[in-house]
Amino acid sequence: MTLPALFSPFQLGGLTLANRIAVAPMGQNRARAGLVTPWHLQHLGSLAVSDPGVLIMESGAVEALGAGSVGAISLYNDAQEAAMAALVRDIRSFSSTPLGMQIVHCGRKIPNVELAGVRDELGLDTMDTFGPSAVGFGTGHQEPRELSRDDLKRLVASFASSAERAMRCGFDLMEIHAAHGYLLHEFYSSLSNLRTDEYGGSLANRLRFPLEVAEAVRRVWPRDRALGMRINCIDYVSGDITVDEAVALGCELRGLGFDYICVTSGSIVSRGQMPPAKPGYLVPVARRMREEAGLPVMVVGMIVDPRQADAVIAEGHADMAGIARAFIDDPRWVWHAAERLGVKVDYPASYERAHAALWPGTPLARNIFTAADG
């Protein structure tokens, strides 16, 4: 029997994924001083036992000044690394699902309502935020201090150091967050980067700092694992030029030896207003990135229905479907997708009694809400 595209294996860098389903990062805001807590174990563990192709945990700040909300995780000190390593070990004890880690610096995009709490939680006495230029995100955010060249060198080292920590923790995949209005995105957007030195002005200059970070992480991240970057392709202000610039960044990442790109969208200024999301609204962008950048692509954005996800892969729009809130709604999304697409998957031995092939209650469980509404 030919497997549906969504359940076909895929070689991603040094990893062999069992299927094309990726659990995309979802911020939980349940950390304490940047350390993961039991909440993260139950959240990630529940998703891991369902056997997606890869499970990527929420982004961790590469330094204290880069954390963007109270309860955000971080990965810049030994205590945080030890807690993260224990989390990975615990999940590995019951699941072989490949695990990914995303790293970030939130730059200037730290809301005023969160700023004091974040600084207090992490033991900082400064309320400064930082960005490529002294231009604020907009309403509800303060004007940042412009990063100096020495600051940029330090931050490149911070990203590489966090990647090394993630490597020691045992993660299989590393994703650099360069989207959603955070620091790396702030550098390659002309709306937030007004510098006149070698890090501003032309697109090549605006890409310089994100690519220095990418190159530093590529040097330390093992080739037998997987390395990618999440790129902002639509900012809801600038129009089609953002896709052109995102593709240019993707092409540069291919040259650096990256293994994949995750295409996403998000505001770079507070006036950017996302229209109502439609299922698969980023799929056309993903296809363009895949064809022009020449790297495997993960696409996110209202991918909920298994047949929709399968079509995205089967029709060559993307290589992986990144799914987030659908997994919160249904932690067994993989199993239920397999049922819909006629694929036999194994359940952990402790859960076998609920397998559709063994449990007579399956039809009732699948139809109970529809029947109640009808």
Average pLDDT of the segment spanning 69-97: 98
For the beta carbon of residue 274, count every other beta carbon within 10 angstroms.
12
Could you report the per-residue pLDDT of 329-369, keeping only the tens digit for each? 999 999 999 999 999 999 999 999 999 999 999 999 988 65
Could you report the per-residue pLDDT of 163-212, keeping only the tens digit for each? 999 999 999 999 999 999 999 999 999 999 999 999 999 999 999 999 99
Question: Active site residue: 76, 182, 188, 347, which one?
Answer: 182
User: What is the reported pLDDT for 370?
Assistant: 55
Is 182 part of the annotated catalytic residue set? yes
Global confidence as pTM: 0.96
Domains identified in the chain and CATH numbers: 5-343 (3.20.20.70), 347-374 (no CATH)
**Mean per-residue pLDDT over the chain, rounded:** 96
- Give the percent of the chain with pLDDT over 90: 94
Going by C-alpha positions, the residue among 232, 242, 213, 227 that lies closest to residue 300 is 232
Is residue 278 over pLDDT 70? yes
Could you report the per-residue pLDDT of 209-261, keeping only the tens digit for each? 999 999 999 999 999 999 999 999 999 999 888 999 999 999 999 999 999 99
User: What is the reported pLDDT for 18?
Assistant: 98
User: What is the reported pLDDT for 165?
Assistant: 98
User: What is the reported pLDDT for 369?
Assistant: 56
Is residue 372 over pLDDT 50? no
User: What is the reported pLDDT for 274?
Assistant: 79
Compute φ and ψ for 99, nearest 5 degrees.
-115, 135
User: What is the reported pLDDT for 341?
Assistant: 97
User: What is the reported pLDDT for 3?
Assistant: 95
Alpha-carbon distance of 65 to 145, in angstroms, equals: 12
